[in-house]
Amino acid sequence: MIVVMKAHSNNEEIQHVLKFLQNHGLSGHLSQGVERTVIGVLGQTSNAGLPSGIGGITPGLEDSLEGLPGVDNVLRVSKPYKLASREFHPENTTVEVPAACVDGGSVTIGGKDVVMMAGPCTVETETQLMTAAEAVRKAGAVILRGGAFKPSTSPYGFRGLGEKGLQLLAKARDEFGMAVITEVMTPSDVAMVCEYADILQIGTRNMQNYMLLDEIGRTNKPVVLKRGMSATIEEWLLAAEYVLSQGNKNVILCERGIRTFEKATRNTMDISAIPVAKTLSHLPIISDPSQGTGHRHLVGPMTLASIAAGTDALLIEVHPNPDEALKDGAQSLTIQQFNELMPQAQAVAHAIGRDFITR
């Protein structure tokens, strides 16, 4: 359920509601908008011991809440996810990421303008990473992607450089001022990856790794949550709920394609998921057309389509020599292709009243 506070409720009244919920074994999550504050209620609120929104609400609880000072009304949340729901948080959430290469020293994801994240799928060598980072920065990217830990379908595939790869990413950040996004795969690695990364990435295979979601939720690091390759949008948003429920509000959704019967592409890029997610949730959403298609000649068209559909950022693989890449070379753009794509992407953004944050 959601407790909607009156427009001019004060902090004392808000704290009184939170204390009331705590006394009833519930937790309240604040969402403070421009005009009013709402409090999401989580916990066991039914006689049957079922989670809020599933069973019947304990008799008298809603009436008691509505009688508290400063409370306007109490609403039921119709979705199984609460904190990720736009019903709970009507205004768009924005996530701030430190990036020395832009004015003000940080970049906003989920605001008016679009953000470009680009770099190699996997950190292979210092030369490869630095070459890619320099090129994508010159073209307008402000966040550097690169995998230090790589999940692989085959146990014989390249699985990343580990902490050495993280150190190289940190070196590239120092050199070019870009923020760094990289994947974390296990709960035990979260603390280490947090030391090097500005954004944590949860990959498609880990979307429902609940121990990992909980651990990342206990940090305050921005996190990109990729949609599971066979996940529905509801399952995806419930995965986001795990992170949010632990206190980390800096969640960014990422559409990266889903598995269908079609074999012409590696995945089926679900562009419609972008406006659907924006309707259902307040969280920012970004697009990964590299993973979404698996073919570099499709990355450009899907990038432009994603911008037109409302994506808040792009996550694109760029490699100095894709044909020699240790992983996913077929879906990685060359530096020249990326340089050609950026003006096209900016043109589409301008056509719908947006721009790219490049400095």
- pLDDT tens per residue across all 359 residues of the chain: 888 888 888 889 889 999 998 888 888 888 777 677 888 887 765 444 434 443 345 657 888 888 899 888 887 777 889 899 998 888 999 999 999 999 999 999 999 999 999 999 999 999 999 999 999 999 999 999 999 997 777 777 778 899 999 999 999 999 999 999 999 999 999 999 999 999 999 999 999 999 999 999 999 999 999 999 999 999 999 999 999 999 999 999 999 999 999 999 999 999 999 999 999 999 999 999 999 999 999 999 999 999 999 999 999 999 999 999 998 899 999 999 999 999 999 999 999 999 999 99
Domain that holds residue 271: 86-351
- What is the count of structural domains for the chain? 2
Same-domain check for residues 176 and 134: yes
Same-domain check for residues 281 and 313: yes
Same-domain check for residues 283 and 327: yes
Same-domain check for residues 193 and 266: yes
Same-domain check for residues 56 and 181: no
Same-domain check for residues 227 and 138: yes
Q: Is residue 80 part of a domain?
A: no
Where a domain ends, among 75, 105, 136? 75
Same-domain check for residues 16 and 161: no
Q: Which CATH number characterizes residue 40's domain?
A: 3.30.70.1140
Q: Is residue 356 part of a domain?
A: no
Same-domain check for residues 175 and 305: yes
Q: Is residue 358 part of a domain?
A: no
Same-domain check for residues 201 and 67: no
Q: Is residue 357 part of a domain?
A: no
Same-domain check for residues 166 and 105: yes
Same-domain check for residues 70 and 92: no
Burial of 109-136, coded b for 16+ CB within 10 Å and e otherwise, reads bbbebbbbbbbbbbbbeeebbbbbbbbb
Same-domain check for residues 137 and 22: no
